[in-house]
Amino acid sequence: MSPASAMMETAEERIDAPAYDLDAVRAEFPILAETVRGRPLAYLDNAATTQKPEPVIAAVADCYRHGYANVARGVHALAERATLAYEEARAKVARFLGAEASEEIVFVRGTTEAINLAAGSWGRANVKAGDEILITELEHHANILPWQRLCEEVGARLVVAPIDERGEVPLEGIAARLSPRTRLAAVAHVSNVLGTLLPIREIATLVHDTGALLLVDGPQAAPHLAIDVRALGCDFYAFSGHKAYGPSGIGALWARREILAAMPPWQTGGGIVHKVAFTGTEYAEPPTRFEPGTPHLEGALGLAAAIDFIEALGRPIIAAWEKTLTERALDRLSDVPGLRLLGTPRERASLVSFVLPGIHPHDVATILDGEGIAVRVGHLCAQPLMARLGVPAVVRASFALYNTLDEVETLAAGLAKAREVFR
């Protein structure tokens, strides 16, 4: 059993309030007090990006006010403060993911850049003509396109493991598509469309048995589930700060130390070298080797503050509340005549996608917006999955630690209104 599923089963089954003071937590997020089109904001688009609490806003502002300088360059007091703070943030991210050491964390712009780094550096060095890379049918474009492009460039083959009727990825489907030519499997931890929680530990065992490596695309999981990359048994893990209450433009790629040590630089530039001459260059050790140019200091400090915020509440406690919100939403959606729920995975994270018969998702979203409700609509950057599901677009409601049961009821009322308008 994965750590996430163990946690979910030990969580209380029926609770009507989180184990923290929800009003006090909501008060930490200034934007939640906004009104939209004259209604209180019900922000249910958390899988796209989350709102920011005061400590994160303060961390970014304080960086500019009191501690801003370039990282790992100067020796003056501010440069020293900036460098130490940046490395403390890295250590915090390492602990957040269960990494063995800070040196295993590469700061990147977000998950997209993390996967491009893995493909551009590790992939180009290790994937050859005739090799295979395995992904699944439910992947986000960010975990398809870097691999598709790599395969096209080197003459490798992209192999796709299917989903089943529930929207789960059966292990047999993965096992049947692994081969001695498989170099890497790249899979989502949680589907951004179906909510499916993938059995990463079991997948890791299968993948490693064939001698390949496993990359996990984790932005939909990291803010919600306790992540322990060593327990999961993967080789790469990518996530984004902005989906975890942190700033945009910052995220991390974790990889095992020996893998990073053998990877060539990807983007090149200042700050990542031991010695440069026109005849050749000696690059620095990881993670410095992968962070050319001036780093996103305020982003890293904001992310560290976000991690502190999450850890103070506790991810198992947050997950228990999000599970309550999600179950209430599933209950309410099941009452809507004709509503088609996309994905009925047995282990689901805190998001639900659906379509209403005869009403385009964009019209649903516009009606909901009129009620102050923010949801996501569209193909959710998963066009191959949309094709598999036979829909051009979906509506997605996704929950975070600050959402309320009242907001779920507002969503249900908004859907009733949409049905009325398009009767």
Binding site for other proteins (CB under 8 A): 37-38, 359-363, 366-367, 370, 377-379, 386, 392-393, 417, 420-422
Cis check for the bond before 287: say yes or no (omega within 30 of 0). Answer: yes
Nearest-angstrom CA–CA distance, 11 and 190: 19
Q: Which residues have a Cβ under 8 Å from the Cβ of 215 and sit 6 or more positions away? A: 115, 118, 143, 184, 185, 186, 187, 234, 235, 236, 237, 238
Q: Are 51 and 29 in contact (CB under 8 A)?
A: yes
Nearest of 127, 137, 216 to residue 170 by alpha carbon: 137
Nearest-angstrom CA–CA distance, 232 and 210: 17
Structure tokens at 420: 């009325």
- Burial profile 105-136: b = 16 or more Cβ within 10 angstroms, e = fewer: bbbbbbbbbbbbbbbbbbbeeebeeebbbbbb
Closer Cβ to other proteins, 146 or 361, answer by number: 361
Q: How far is the CB of 36 from other proteins (least distance, A)?
A: 11
Closer Cβ to other proteins, 340 or 360, answer by number: 360
Closer Cβ to other proteins, 272 or 359, answer by number: 359
Q: How far is the CB of 140 from other proteins (least distance, A)?
A: 15
Give yes or no: 151 in active site.
no
Q: How far is the CB of 279 from other proteins (least distance, A)?
A: 47
Name the residue with tokens 């163990």.
Answer: 6
What interhelical angle do 405-421 and 361-370 show, nearest 10?
Answer: 120
Beta-bridge mates of residue 253: 106, 238
Element counts in the chain: helices (H) and strands (E): 16, 17
Q: How far is the CB of 332 from other proteins (least distance, A)?
A: 18
Closer Cβ to other proteins, 281 or 383, answer by number: 383
- Burial profile 262-286: b = 16 or more Cβ within 10 angstroms, e = fewer: ebebbeeeebbbeeeeeeeeebbeb
Nearest-angstrom CA–CA distance, 61 and 43: 24
Burial class (CB in 10 A: 0-12, 13-18, 19+), 155: exposed
Closer Cβ to other proteins, 34 or 172, answer by number: 34
Closer Cβ to other proteins, 347 or 363, answer by number: 363
Q: How far is the CB of 377 from other proteins (least distance, A)?
A: 7
Structure tokens at 326: 């999600």
Q: How far is the CB of 158 from other proteins (least distance, A)?
A: 21
Measure CA 362 to chain center. 24
Closer Cβ to other proteins, 255 or 382, answer by number: 382
Residue type, 292: P
Handedness of CA 346, 238, 135, 191 (dihedral sign): positive
Structure tokens at 252: 């991390």
Closer Cβ to other proteins, 124 or 379, answer by number: 379
Residue type, 118: A
Q: How far is the CB of 421 from other proteins (least distance, A)?
A: 5
Q: How far is the CB of 237 from other proteins (least distance, A)?
A: 30
Q: Are 23 and 404 in contact (CB under 8 A)?
A: no
Which residues are part of the catalytic machinery?
A: 381
